[in-house]
Amino acid sequence: MESFVRGLPKTELHIHIEGTLEPEMMFEMGERNGVALPFQSVEDVAAAYEFDDLQSFLDIYYQAAAVLQTENDFAQLMAAYLAKAASDGVRHAEIFFDPQTHTERGIDIGTVIRGFARGQKRVAEVSSTLILCFLRHLSPESAVEVFEQARPYLAYIQGVGLDSGELGNPPELFAEAYRRAVEAGLRPVAHAGEEGPAEYIWSALDVLGVERIDHGVRAADDPALVERLVREQIPLTMCPLSNQKLQVFPDLRCHNLKELLDAGVLVTVNSDDPAYFGGYVGDNYLAIATALDLSCDDLAQLARNSVTASFLPEDRKVALQQEITEYVASVL
Ligand code: ADE
Ligand code: ZN
C-alpha cells in the first residue's frame, strides 16, 4: 500500500507553507539570520511538539516563523516543500501562506510573495498556486489592510483563505476582506469546523461564499449540513495527522473521514502542517488508511476527489483523472 500511495497521482489542497518548516531548516535560518529560537536542539523541538489543541500548536508555529527573513528564505522553504511533494506523487499544490505572520514583524509582503514565486519556479514537476490566508485571531480591519498590501501581487495569488485560532473568531467577521478578495477574482476557501462548531461552516458558505471548507470535520454534527455538502459537492480538505496531533479526535480510529466519504461528501486528504504533525500528504493517506481500514479503491477515490476539488482548469483535471485511472489499472 505504501508504494501504491506514493505513486498515486494527487493534488494537495491544504498545506500551510509555514507549516513545512522542518526543524533542521529552522535552525539553519535562525543561525543565518541571528534569530533566537526557544529550542536548543532538534530533540528539544520533538519534545515541544506535543500539542493539546490548536492554540498550543499555533503558539510555537508563529514563533518559529520568525526565522524567515529574506526573499531567499521564502524561496528555499517553498522549493524544499515542492521537492518533497513531488516525491509523494503530488502533481499540483494550492498552497496557503499567512502574510500577516510576516508583515506584523516588519517583513514587506513583496519579499514574501516574490520569494515564494522564485521557489515555485525551481520545481518544475509540481504546478502550484498561492492562497493568501487571513489570520482570524487578528482584527477584520487587519485582514482588509493586508489584502490591500497584497493587491500589487494578485497575479501570483489564486485564492483567499482564513486560518489560525478558530473558536470565538467566526467567519462572518471577515466578510469585508472576502468581498474585496472575491471582487478582485480570488477563489474563496476557509478553515471551518476544525475545533469550531458546524455553524461556522454554514457562515463560511453563506456569508463568505467559500467554494471549499478546510477541515470541516464538525460538519458531521449537523445532518442538514452534510446533506448540503453532498448536494452541492462542496469539498472538505481534511488533514488526518493534524487532527490526531491537535487532539480533534481522541484517536485516529474515531476519525469521521470514511463516514463522510461514504455519505457522498467530496472528502480530500491533505497534510496541513507536515513539519509539525509527523508527515506529508502520502503519510496522511497511509495513516488514515490504516486507522479506518481503507481499501486501495477508497484511496484512489480520495485522489480523484483531490483533482475534482482543485482550482485547476478543466482540461488539466481531465488529464489528471486519466492519469489516476491509468495508474490504478497498471498497479492493481
Ligand atoms: N494554521 C496552520 N495550521 C492551522 C490549522 N490546522 N488550523 C488553523 N490555522 C492553522
Ligand atoms: Zn490548516
| Whole-number Å distance between alpha carbons of 48 and 106 | 27
Ion ligand 2: residue ranges with CB closer than 5 A: 272
Query: Of the candidates 226, 233, 212, which has an alpha carbon nearest to the alpha carbon of residue 133?
Result: 212
How many angstroms separate the alpha carbon of residue 16 from the centre of ligand 1? 8
- Match 480533534 to its residue by C-alpha cell: 248
Confidence at residue 319, expressed as pLDDT on a 0 to 100 scale: 98
Atom of ligand 1 nearest to the CA of 61: 2
Cell of 52: 493539546
Atom of ligand 1 nearest to the CA of 16: 2
How many angstroms separate the alpha carbon of residue 107 from the centre of ligand 2? 22
How many angstroms separate the alpha carbon of residue 164 from the centre of ligand 1? 5
| Whole-number Å distance between alpha carbons of 29 and 73 | 7
φ and ψ at 106, to 5 degrees? 90, 10
Confidence at residue 314, expressed as pLDDT on a 0 to 100 scale: 98
pLDDT cut 90: percent of the chain above it: 97
Q: How would you label 129-163 residue by residue, b for 16+ Cβ within 10 Å and e otherwise?
A: bbbbbbbbbbebebbbebbebbeebeeebbbbbbb
CA distances from 147 to 102, 177, 210 (A): 14, 7, 17
Residue 193: HSE in the Cβ half-sphere, 13 Å Cα cutoff: 26
φ and ψ at 188, to 5 degrees? -90, 135
Q: How would you label 208-247 residue by residue, b for 16+ Cβ within 10 Å and e otherwise?
A: bebbbbbbbbbbbebeebbebbeeeebbbbbbbbbbbbbe
Confidence at residue 104, expressed as pLDDT on a 0 to 100 scale: 97
Instruction: Ligand 1: list residues with CB < 6 Å.
Output: 16, 19, 54, 163-164, 191, 194, 242, 272-273
| Whole-number Å distance between alpha carbons of 264 and 67 | 42
Atom of ligand 1 nearest to the CA of 18: 2
Characterize the bridge pairing of strands 90-97 and 127-135: parallel
How many angstroms separate the alpha carbon of residue 272 from the centre of ligand 2? 5
Atom of ligand 1 nearest to the CA of 246: 6
Confidence at residue 20, expressed as pLDDT on a 0 to 100 scale: 98
Catalytic residues, by residue number, are: 194
Q: Which DSSP helix (H) or strand (E) runs through 6?
A: helix 2-7
Q: For residue 124, give the 3-state DSSP assignment.
A: coil
Q: Note if the pTM is more than 0.75.
A: yes
Of 14, 194, 201, the one to substitute when testing ligand 1's pocket (max ligand atoms within 8 A of C-beta) is 194
Residue 79: HSE in the Cβ half-sphere, 13 Å Cα cutoff: 16
Which residue, judged by its Cα, is nearest atom 9 of ligand 1? 164
Cell of 64: 518559529
Nearest bound ligand to the CA of residue 14:
2
Tens of pLDDT along the chain (332 residues) come to: 999 999 999 999 999 999 999 999 999 999 999 999 989 888 899 899 999 999 999 999 999 999 999 999 999 999 999 999 999 999 999 999 999 999 999 999 999 999 999 999 999 999 999 999 999 999 999 999 999 999 999 999 999 999 999 999 999 999 999 999 999 999 999 999 999 999 999 999 999 999 999 999 999 999 999 999 999 999 999 999 999 999 999 999 999 999 999 999 999 999 999 999 999 999 999 999 999 999 999 999 999 999 999 999 999 999 999 999 999 999 97
Confidence at residue 112, expressed as pLDDT on a 0 to 100 scale: 98
How many angstroms separate the alpha carbon of residue 330 from the centre of ligand 2? 33
Characterize the bridge pairing of strands 212-215 and 236-238: parallel
